[in-house]
A and B are shown apart, each in its own frame.
Chain A
């Protein structure tokens, strides 16, 4: 006799509140337990890597930022740094500080979305709406500095596009003060909320011994107990001149240390702490920022040739290691650009592995807490 089929299929995405964007999870469920999960991508493929081979070096700057919508600046920074490496350029000191400020602002705005997203996936919509609202104040500052709210196209090979406006310090300080005032509210609502702790602790665990093997990076890795951060390991921009701490498990400051390994709770806690660190970094960078030029004198934009060679540059994004492998044959266009996005490992390998045995109610929070950004899976 054929056994009775008890399994059923659910589609989390592409049109689902629990999906992290234009991607989908196909899950097979038995009772309440997820038996198998498959990540389905392909809703967003624009062929960035191939497109880059067809464009001149400068034309790629407005293209790369599209690879991660919540945090576009890491793409501009790592692409620019790779090109600078090939050119053998050392960018002006002031530009380094401005890059640090921009990257940290982007980190806060991305973390606000993610932490809000995790909260929303568990039902605290208030935190999600606040996150989006508070992020808008940062976007206002971005608009003042760069002229754009989402895709800034501000970090260029050779520095930054132009100097920051004179009132940046006041504007940014005001926003940072406001965000600092809001942090305790987020903490009460999310990380110190007893129901949140019940839902998030020990759910979707990435074991410490597997984390490196699985290619986990960024806050997800630090939540598993590794103190690895490229801002410290391979300092870029002005990070080597700034004093900051990298939060990692089990050093969660005043938050409770609950479980062993990278679970939803710890991943959220690490992101909350990183936001506070980022505020601290921006304050220091604003204070120490030297005067001077912000952009190197370029060769003619359209006839610009980059010496032959290759370079791999990585930065610490809000999601993990974001790297650009750029190959040049000495021509006007790159021969090959490969993007190493953190979401590829987090969204496909890690999620498919840790999803097995999850309660169906915990699937979306786990997926969102890994902070997957679909476009960087489908470059």
Chain B
């Protein structure tokens, strides 16, 4: 018999976590702007600017639409990114996590970007078209090294479940403490820089080249939805990194410490994703952006080569 009480409880917890995820995403937006402003020698907006912007944009009347694909595309992106978030273990707490979910996450990660592409494509602006082409090419570029590192981790931990990888790293046996995955983390961090669309890989939105590219025709509620997608994207992408290399932020065992473990793990997870994002912001502040072919070259020539070596290393390690 279906336990409706347990199901309801799970749905409530998931809804809470998703709301929290968006809240953190909005915080990250303000955080990024504040940190960048301080590096720029500016005062910068208040740290809660992300909340203000999203609420303002959703409060706006939409006057221009480019058809129903354009209207639905932002929702498509939000739905996609929320689904990815639900499949990620957050502070060791799994929501929809199952066996083989790493493949699913890699597959699902492409969906929000495709939604974004659909919307921008429907807008019919040439800047958006160039931006989308660049976004998909960047995605293609960074996924190769990222997937290779993830496969190496799957082989090493003998599981295809992200929750399994997080569980295997409990008691502070974080992957990053192994030399091979320390290099792997650097490779993946470069890929993360591309995922977050931060410099030197902010090619898809390059303002001076294509006037923010895909976002150029979005305004009002559409832009608000797109911002939400981007904000959640930061949480999802940094969480994926933390889950893979930093043990998901789990430092206390739930079995031993009960609810206290949830609170502490959650705070550690939050600290770690903030730190990972902060690193990305620092790199973002001091680098110019690559041209698209330079980014491809970087990912496929250097990043992927290192990832391949890691993969070989792991295969040799496993087979001996």
Query: Which residues on A are within 8 Å of B, measured CB to CB?
Result: 8-10, 16-18, 29, 32, 119-126, 129-130, 133, 189, 193, 195-196, 198-199, 359-365, 368
Contact = CB atoms under 8 A, between A and B. Distances in A.
Interface in B272-289: 285-289
Contacts of A359: 291
Contacts of B42: 129, 133
B206 interface: yes
A123 B285 CA distance: 9
Contact of A126 (B39, B126, B292): B39
A198 B302 CA distance: 16
A126 B287 CA distance: 9
Contact of A364 (B36, B209, B290, B294): B209
Nearest to B294: A198
A286 B132 CA distance: 55
Nearest to A9: B126
Contacts, number: 81
B46 interface: no
Interface residues of B, number: 28
B288 A124 contact: yes
30 contacts: A8-B129, A9-B126, A10-B126, A10-B127, A10-B130, A10-B210, A16-B211, A17-B207, A17-B211, A18-B209, A29-B126, A120-B208, A122-B288, A123-B200, A124-B288, A129-B40, A133-B40, A189-B286, A193-B287, A195-B287, A195-B290, A199-B288, A199-B289, A360-B209, A361-B203, A361-B206, A361-B209, A362-B291, A364-B209, A368-B208
A68 B244 CA distance: 55
Determine chain A's interface SS by DSSP, over half rule: helix
B143 interface: no
B189 to A, nearest CB: 16
B208 A364 contact: yes
B288 A193 contact: yes
Contacts of B209: 18, 360-361, 363-364
A306 to B, nearest CB: 45
Nearest to B42: A129
B41 A129 contact: yes
A124 to B, nearest CB: 5
A8 B287 contact: no
B121 to A, nearest CB: 14
B230 interface: no
A120 B199 CA distance: 12
A126 B40 contact: yes
Contact of B208 (A126, A129, A365): A365
A360 B287 contact: no
Contacts of A365: 208
Interface string B118-131: 00000000110110
